[in-house]
Amino acid sequence: MTADPYTISPGEPLRKAVALLEDHHIDGLPVIDEKRKVVGLITKSRLMKCFVDGVSPESPVYEVMTQSVITIGRDHLISEASQIPVGRLPVVNEEGTLVGILTRTDILRSYSYHLARMKEAVNASETLNTILESAYEGIAVVDSEGIILEFNDAYCRFLGKKREEVIGRHVTEVIENTRIHIVVKTGVPERGYIQRIHGHNMVVHRIPIRKDGKVIGAIGMLIFEGVTELYNILGRMQELSRQVEKNAVPSKSTSHGFDRIIGQSDEMLSLKAVARKAAGSPSTILITGESGTGKELLANAIHELSSFSEGPFISMNCAAIPEQLLEAELFGYEEGAFTGARKGGKPGKFELAHKGTLFLDEVGDMSPLMQSKILRVLQDREVERVGGVAKHHVDVRIVAATNRPLEEMVKEGKFREDLYYRLNIIRLRIPPLRQRKSDIPMLLLHHLESFCSRFGIPQKYFTPEAISILTNYDWPGNIRELVNAVEMLVSLVDSQEIGAGDLPSQYCKNGSISLTPVQAVLPAYPEVNQYRETPLHQVKHKVLEQEKEVIWMVLSEVNGNKAEAARRLGIQRSTLYEKLKKYGLM
């Protein structure tokens, strides 16, 4: 349609209508009142007839306009508009206000555009079909229920089946040892897996197909050749992996709970102490802090140390999903609740977190409607799926998080006061990095080692000058920014030593390097002066020795009771056993 068309008021003279039609080369004008409601239509042919009949050009439009005007809504189909026998069709919104004009030319142009798109789609479909049938690899495509939609000739020949025999059947009825239907459910791709079919080991790829963030099917690809060579490659890789593991620094990736929260500053020690106490309570927890401070990591640590640790930890970012989808994600939906709803329905995050912890991130970004629904669940401990009537009881520990000022939002009426008090039972604030600078060297060291190990490259280290510069930086993106910075430096710096000259200029205040003494940024290492010219990974030895002494001291206090020692240290018992073995204290 033509949006915001030229219009005329009922009281305007016919002379003005003639001028508008001539100036803009159009053949008709909608007549609208002061509220932009369509009250009539004046066309060139109507004007010519009036003037032939002797009507004065100064006569008002309302005397000669066509008053019975057909309109159409802007959400109606073009096919409906084409059935209306008028040359100019006013388009109105839900309130009846004029928003555009649809002419026969507009309708023809629309049909032409869609015919061109249909032709492109047909050509693309034919091209895709040619590719599928020309591919040497076996290719199968299934829908969200695991029903086969496509099956190329190569796969048919290998299985000795005809295409018409397999289309429409469940994939497990056709392909031996398949997992493609499982990939549809999990949404996790499986590349380079070995699958035994007809007595042969085959390399397969299983890739989920997504649309609008939802898995709608999957494609499976079967590689017919190269398995023997692949085994040889795998054997060489396994041997290399064993050599790397033998020489590698022990990884922290197996640590649990509060072990993963790095920091020995007063602020972090105080936070972890309160968080450990909070973990033992079933009360709702509200975690606040700037973006990138690690709120989900803290929530996960609380879950692992809580009585809900045997249940799942389910995370939900309330700001990442549109409101119309958020309700279905949180509360689930019944079959037929809306177009595209999964057969049999789907449980929501609350149900999935039953007997576990539900982490609601960015709760400050929820709409008032969603706030009221969350409040009802917190009060009743029951959820009702979208499109359903049955209540589902949920036993869930709620941990919420936000980087927004909820108190101010409550005052401004942007956040429900009753929900705020429901969430703000135990409050934990994670300080930004600029308020705990003494933790920055430890974080840098940890992530430096992690990335070097992950990338399979020789261990790198920071010079004391580089540590000083990075510690002076305010890190507005907090730990998330720090991790990205370390990954960038590990990837781009060729030498093992990462010095001040390797750092991008943004990390230097006012474009110049202002160094803090190493003693100030590494307070945990009072003997640091003797290590000023020593790689930082050697300095870490001091920290490990201190950790060993602390574990030995706690074990002595509890007379060797490892369960009690793990509780006092705030770690899992399995983590304590790993450390005892590591330090030779078993």
Concatenate the DSSP letters of all residues of 286-354 into one string: EEE--TTS-HHHHHHHHHHTSTTTTS-EEEEETTSS-HHHHHHHHHEE-TTSSTTPPTT-EE-HHHHTT
Phi, psi of 40 (to 5 degrees): 180, -175
> Residue 504: CB partners within 8 Å, gap ≥ 6?
none
Q: What is the pLDDT of residue 35?
A: 86
Helix or strand (DSSP H, E) at 554: helix 536-557
Say how far apart CA 420 and CA 375 lie, in whole Å.
9
Phi, psi of 426 (to 5 degrees): -120, 120
Say how far apart CA 508 and CA 523 lie, in whole Å.
22
Q: What is the pLDDT of residue 252?
A: 38
> Are the CB atoms for 39 and 19 separated by under 8 Å?
no
- What's 89's DSSP letter? E
The residue assigned the tokens 């920091």 is 263
Q: What is the pLDDT of residue 255?
A: 45
Say how far apart CA 525 and CA 548 lie, in whole Å.
15
Q: In 3D, which of 215, 249, 256, 271 has the Cα closest to residue 430? A: 271
Q: What is the pLDDT along the chain (586 residues), one digit of tens a residue?
A: 778 888 899 899 998 989 988 888 888 889 988 888 888 888 888 888 888 888 898 999 888 888 888 888 888 887 777 777 777 788 888 888 888 888 877 777 776 677 667 666 555 555 555 555 555 478 889 999 999 998 888 788 878 888 889 999 999 999 988 999 988 888 888 877 778 887 777 778 889 998 888 889 999 888 754 444 444 445 555 555 555 555 544 443 344 578 788 888 888 888 988 999 999 888 999 999 999 999 999 999 999 988 898 899 999 888 877 777 888 888 888 876 665 556 667 888 998 999 999 999 999 988 888 899 899 998 888 988 887 778 888 899 999 999 999 999 999 999 999 999 999 999 999 999 999 998 898 899 889 988 998 888 888 888 888 888 998 899 999 999 999 999 999 988 888 889 888 888 888 764 333 333 333 334 333 333 343 444 444 545 565 666 777 777 777 777 777 877 777 776 767 778 777 877 777 6
Rounded to two decimals, the pTM is 0.47
- SS3 for 371-405 is HHHHHHHHHHCEEECECCCCEEECCCEEEEEECCC
Say how far apart CA 298 and CA 282 lie, in whole Å.
16
Q: How many CB atoms lie within 10 A of CB 271?
A: 22
> Are the CB atoms for 580 and 586 separated by under 8 Å?
yes
Q: What is the pLDDT of residue 530?
A: 40
Full set of structural domains in the chain with CATH: 2-109 (3.10.580.10), 135-228 (3.30.450.20), 266-433 (3.40.50.300), 442-549 (1.10.8.60)
DSSP β-bridge partners for residue 214: 211
Using only C-alpha atoms, the chain has a radius of gyration, in whole angstroms, of 34
